[in-house]
Amino acid sequence: MKRYRYNKIKEIVQSKAIETQEELAAALLEEGIEVTQATVSRDIKELMLIKIPTGDGHYRYALSPEENVVLSRSRINRLFQDSIIKVDSSINLIVLHTIPGSAQSVAFSIDHAKWTEIIGTLAGDDTILLIARTESDVPTVISRITDLMKD
């Protein structure tokens, strides 16, 4: 359902001038997708939508033209520093505890980084499960994460 909603959001912002989260929620409802404002806010963050000028003094949501700028090292550093509370592991599993509401953003940045040692992530509201390819990959992944958490 989330992937479907993300695709609909992308379609909507590319075809309509959406200025507010409320307008986006209403457009999703027209598509048969009922969401809360908190969900829309999280989706905007995770899809890394940006606001661009429309030319008439207003702004609208748009897809970021350059994802690498949005996922810059300094931005990921801030995200990890501000969000991750604890890192733990067992065998080939790594668990990241985050502040409430930020697990999906952190997991997205890890997914987007395409670390070969990670075969998958699963994010809730404040917890992320990372599945490492092998047990021996775990120290490498933990080291990367802790490095990104440093100033």
pLDDT at 81 over 60: yes
> At 28, which CATH number?
1.10.10.10
- Name the pTM for this structure: 0.57
Which of 20-29, 36-45, 47-56, 135-144 has the lowest average pLDDT?
A: 47-56
Q: What angle do CA 75, 127, 12 make, to 5 degrees?
A: 60
Same domain, residue pair 61 and 96: no
Residue 66 confidence (pLDDT): 52
pLDDT at 98 over 60: yes
Number of domains in the chain: 2
pLDDT at 125 over 80: yes
Domain interval for residue 37: 2-66
* 104 in Cβ contact with 123 (< 8 Å): yes
pLDDT at 75 over 60: yes
Same domain, residue pair 60 and 12: yes
